Homo-oligomer: A and B are copies of this chain.
Amino acid sequence: MKKKSKIRLYCHHDLSIGSVFALEADQSHYLCHVMKISLNNEILVFDGVNGEFIASIAQISKKSVIVKIIEKTRPFIKTPDTWLLFAPLKKDQTDFVIQKATELGATCIVPVITQFSITEKAKTQRFLAQAIEACEQCRRLDVPEIKEPVSLNKLVSAWNKDFHLFFMDETLQADCVYEVFNHAQSSGIRKAAFLIGPEGGFSDEELSLLRNSDFATGVCLGKRILRAETAAVAALACWQAIAGDWRI
């Protein structure tokens, strides 16, 4: 028989055993009208700070569902620092990047405006809602931070050197991802940021800016031209595999 997994919700409320509070309106609606929960049913909740808990449905009213935290199921673990910097794409592709990046352990997602960006708009509130939904689904305990859009020039000039910046370079002039990430792993780089350009790639000026930054390394993801959203997912997956939290 197929195992049925528990409903899992992110709560803005600070969680501890014994606390009793009302869920948000949309969560209450989802539980009552979509999932048809009953009194004393159990769900999983997490708050991005204190870990994961079992909450029991204590009261169902017209407007809200009240839960009581009854047991801790997992202690909080912070996902290792992994940043995704990407040029916003069309709606569906951007949605896709946010969802997949969250599943793949991005801890901070930054929309970056480059010379060939197709849009400068970034609906950061919408991105956050999608990231939260992905966390609920993939059992993450923390929620990635979504930053406001920043230009590539500004990003590079104000770079936090605790992080190493890996930029996906389509020109075939960079070393292959295996080599670069393995070297990063053995050099002890643990805070990593991945920059993916827009569909049109980086401009020559942008490439030379990146190549001349001592905190940045180009990465080659093969000879096929990947779509921007594919490159984002591939870069994160390869990092987790070779140097990140999939490697045990």
Contact = CB atoms under 8 A, between A and B. Distances in A.
A140 B230 CA distance: 15
B245 A222 contact: yes
A246 B2 contact: no
A220 interface: yes
Interface residues of A, number: 41
Interface of A: 2-3, 96, 99-100, 103-105, 115-116, 137-140, 176-178, 181, 200-201, 203, 220-227, 230, 233-234, 237-238, 240-242, 245-248
27 contacts: A2-B116, A3-B201, A100-B233, A103-B224, A103-B225, A103-B226, A103-B227, A104-B234, A138-B224, A138-B226, A138-B227, A140-B224, A176-B241, A178-B242, A178-B246, A178-B247, A181-B241, A221-B241, A223-B245, A233-B233, A234-B237, A237-B237, A237-B238, A238-B238, A241-B241, A241-B242, A242-B242
